[in-house]
């Protein structure tokens, strides 16, 4: 029997009922994985936790657990692995336990994985060369006072250890996305952590399903030609004892799984395909073989693994001012020209109000500006959307901008419309600071919550 | 001829870098693109993004290439002021690229 692992959440904000739907469509699943974390979501959680110390995790997950209860009550045995814990896995687990108890479920156990939060470590060792920004080479001292989060990407090991405690739900903070899947495989097949080819195969499976419907027809180059698109099935990886897998989706769901959708997702957000690095194993994609294995089934084999490096990746974030964007629709002859002029007028008014903004951007959407004119620019438009985006360290400067946008409805050209959503919002900006830490300096622990 | 006749694509971000996977429809197309879809050509096509380096990784087993455009996203994610701060649209953009005819 192969191990069947589904993914029902590709990002924080994905379909809330995906988990219940997936388990309804495929009641024989062994594991459900749910991925909530991105660079930005950690910062949002940090703000929430500042206001309320019991917050700091993906609250959506509590609702997911509530929706899964009827399926557990029917006797299904699936287990759940998620990184919904964000900055507060214990808080997340407590909220889950509360929901379970209040629904009369007392036999489910939850474990949390801790130890990914390395903010204090970074703050106490600012000059450590490993903490330099991987992209720019800048020293951490440049942003240390503005740091909001710093978490290390943990691997599959602590999760597998938690599973061996017999728990039904494992909640982690930051963790490499594919490791959610790898942990289930390594635990189930009792792999040793030196079985690099097996771990590599499971990492490929995890990489393919971690973004939910992106491997089952979502954002495919052939999306338009796909027959049914409304309820695209969430993905399932069937992983065998050697780490080879079949990617598929529940029968009867919309979407598609074929060589194209799998290749597209294999190439999603990777750098060197000969050396895809995870905390568990470094994977080569260059020996992978794909073949069809029935309708909506693609078999992937041949992954090669080598030992992981001696460092883990850290994703840190820091405060970097505020931004806001205003949108207006411009209709009529010379719409593009009018849009550009409106954008300039708007920024000029802000300047005259005494604010020289740190960064501004005027886009005429519809003319090719969303891709900076790469595909060639469209002229002679009779309709386009003006988008003005500004950023500044001073909240009041950005606020001033948000108050000015609507004025163009009365003072701009005829045909300015589409301003019904009110003033644009001011949003805090979080810079992303990728760096490294010695694996030895990170000590993951697990805690079974009761 | 446009690239979309020979291949399909997917793009995404890693911090301020973007990667664009280009997958050929056939082995012939792959071999042709290996010659013509060079790092230089892709760097030139996307020059307005302000990328500091473009690297191509070849995956002959999948008839695919992975292009990484380093520093192409102006800080990326939450920092960039662009509509496409995460490079999600660049897969579609590369498919519109003109390739010299076979």
Nearest of A417, A431, A423, A421 to residue A401 by alpha carbon:
A423
Question: How near does any CA of chain B get to the CA of A205, in Å?
Answer: 16
Using CA atoms, how far residue A368 sits from A330, A419, B83, in Å, is 15, 22, 11
In chain A, what residues touch B93 (CB-CB under 8 Å)? 371, 374-375
Asked if residues B73 and B16 have their Cβ atoms less than 8 Å apart, the reply is: yes
The pLDDT score that the predictor gives to residue B102 is 55
Q: Which CATH number fits domain A321-429: 3.40.50, 1.10.10, 3.30.70, 3.40.190?
A: 3.30.70
The chain B residue lying nearest A365, using CA atoms, is B83
Asked if residues A343 and A362 have their Cβ atoms less than 8 Å apart, the reply is: yes
Asked if the Cβ–Cβ distance from A390 to B9 is below 8 Å, we say no
Q: B101 in a domain, yes or no?
A: no
Residues of chain A with CATH 3.30.70: 321-429
Say whether residue B50 is in contact with chain A using an 8 A CB cutoff. Answer: no
Say whether residue A290 is in contact with chain B using an 8 A CB cutoff. Answer: yes
Percent of chain B with pLDDT over 70: 98
Whether the predicted interface score ipTM is above 0.85? yes
Asked if the Cβ–Cβ distance from A372 to B48 is below 8 Å, we say yes
Express each pLDDT in A273-283 by its tens digit. Answer: 999 999 999 99
Domain count, chain B: 1
Question: How near does any CA of chain A get to the CA of B38, in Å?
Answer: 16
Asked if the Cβ–Cβ distance from A359 to B81 is below 8 Å, we say yes
Residue-number span of the structural domain to which B26 is assigned: 3-95
Tell whether the torsion through CA atoms of A121, A125, A131 and A136 is positive or negative: positive
Asked if the Cβ–Cβ distance from B79 to A288 is below 8 Å, we say no
Q: Point out which residues pair with B12 in neighbouring strands.
A: B19
In chain B, what residues touch A269 (CB-CB under 8 Å)? 12-14, 19
Q: B102 in a domain, yes or no?
A: no
Q: B68 in a domain, yes or no?
A: yes
The pLDDT score that the predictor gives to residue A317 is 92
Asked if the Cβ–Cβ distance from A285 to B59 is below 8 Å, we say yes
Looking at residues A174-197, what average pLDDT do you find? 98
If you compute the radius of gyration of chain A from its CA atoms, what whole number of angstroms results?
A: 24
The pLDDT score that the predictor gives to residue B15 is 82
The chain A residue lying nearest B69, using CA atoms, is A271
| φ, ψ of residue A229 in degrees (nearest 5) | -125, -10
Q: Does A420 have pLDDT greater than 80?
A: no
Cβ contacts from A onto B, under 8 A: 136
Express each pLDDT in A3-40 by its tens digit. Answer: 999 999 999 989 999 999 999 999 999 999 999 998 77
What DSSP state is assigned to residue B41?
H
Express each pLDDT in A303-333 by its tens digit. Answer: 999 999 999 999 999 999 999 999 999 999 9
Nearest of A381, A389, A375, A377 to residue A338 by alpha carbon:
A381
Q: B71 in a domain, yes or no?
A: yes
Percent of chain A with pLDDT over 90: 93
N-to-C CA span, chain A:
32
The chain B residue lying nearest A275, using CA atoms, is B57
Candidate from B45, B61, B79 with C-beta closest to A286: B61
- Is B44 strand, coil or helix? helix
The whole model's pTM is what? 0.97
The chain B residue lying nearest A290, using CA atoms, is B62
């Amino acid at each position: 029997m192969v191990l069947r692992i589904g993914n029902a959440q590709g990002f924080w904000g994905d379909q809330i009922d995906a988990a219940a739907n997936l388990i309804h469509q495929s009641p024989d699943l062994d594991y459900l994985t749910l991925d909530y974390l991105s660079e930005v979501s950690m910062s949002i959680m940090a703000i929430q936790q500042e206001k309320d110390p019991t917050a700091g995790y993906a609250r959506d997950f509590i609702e997911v657990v509530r929706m899964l209860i009827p399926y557990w009550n029917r006797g299904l045995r699936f287990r759940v692995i998620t990184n919904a814990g964000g900055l507060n896995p214990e808080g997340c687990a407590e909220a889950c336990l509360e929901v379970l108890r209040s629904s009369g479920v007392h036999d489910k156990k939850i474990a949390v994985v801790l130890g990914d939060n390395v903010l204090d470590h970074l703050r106490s060792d600012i000059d450590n060369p490993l903490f330099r920004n991987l992209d720019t080479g800048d020293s951490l001292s440049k942003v240390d006072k503005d740091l909001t989060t710093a978490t290390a990407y943990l691997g599959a090991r602590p999760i597998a250890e938690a599973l061996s405690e017999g728990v039904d739900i494992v909640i982690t903070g930051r963790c490499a996305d594919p490791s959610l899947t790898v942990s289930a495989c390594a635990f189930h097949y009792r792999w040793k952590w030196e079985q690099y080819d097996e771990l590599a195969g499971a990492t490929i499976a995890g990489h393919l399903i971690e973004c939910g419907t992106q491997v089952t027809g979502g954002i495919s180059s052939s999306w338009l030609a796909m027959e049914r698109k409304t309820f695209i099935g969430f993905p399932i990886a069937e992983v065998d004892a050697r780490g080879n897998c079949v990617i598929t989706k529940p029968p009867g769901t919309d979407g598609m799984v074929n060589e194209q959708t799998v290749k597209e997702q294999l190439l999603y957000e990777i750098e060197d395909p000969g050396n895809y690095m995870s905390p568990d194993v470094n994977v080569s994609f260059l020996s992978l073989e794909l073949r069809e294995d029935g309708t909506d089934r693609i078999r992937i084999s041949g992954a090669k693994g080598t030992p992981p490096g001696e460092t883990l990746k850290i994703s840190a974030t820091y405060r970097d001012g505020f931004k806001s964007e205003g949108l207006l629709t411009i209709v009529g002859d010379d719409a593009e020209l009018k849009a550009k002029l409106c954008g300039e007028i708007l920024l000029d008014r802000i300047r005259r109000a005494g604010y020289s903004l740190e960064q501004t951007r005027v886009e005429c959407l519809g003319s090719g500006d969303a891709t900076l004119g790469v595909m060639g620019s469209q002229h002679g438009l009779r309709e386009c959307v003006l988008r003005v985006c500004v950023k500044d360290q001073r909240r009041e400067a950005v606020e001033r901008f948000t108050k000015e946008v609507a004025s163009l409805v009365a003072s701009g050209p005829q045909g300015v419309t589409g301003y019904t959503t009110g003033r644009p919002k001011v949003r805090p900006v979080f810079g992303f600071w990728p760096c490294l830490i010695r694996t030895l300096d990170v000590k993951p622990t697990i805690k079974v919550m009761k | 001829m446009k690239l979309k006749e020979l291949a399909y694509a997917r793009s995404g971000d890693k911090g301020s870098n973007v990667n664009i996977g280009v997958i050929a429809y056939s082995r012939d197309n792959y071999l042709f693109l290996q010659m013509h879809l060079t790092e230089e050509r892709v760097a030139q096509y996307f020059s307005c993004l302000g990328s500091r380096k473009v690297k191509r990784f070849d995956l002959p087993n999948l008839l695919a290439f992975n292009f990484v455009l380093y520093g192409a996203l102006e800080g990326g994610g939450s920092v960039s002021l662009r509509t496409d701060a995460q490079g999600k649209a660049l897969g579609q953009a590369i498919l519109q690229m003109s390739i010299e005819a076979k």
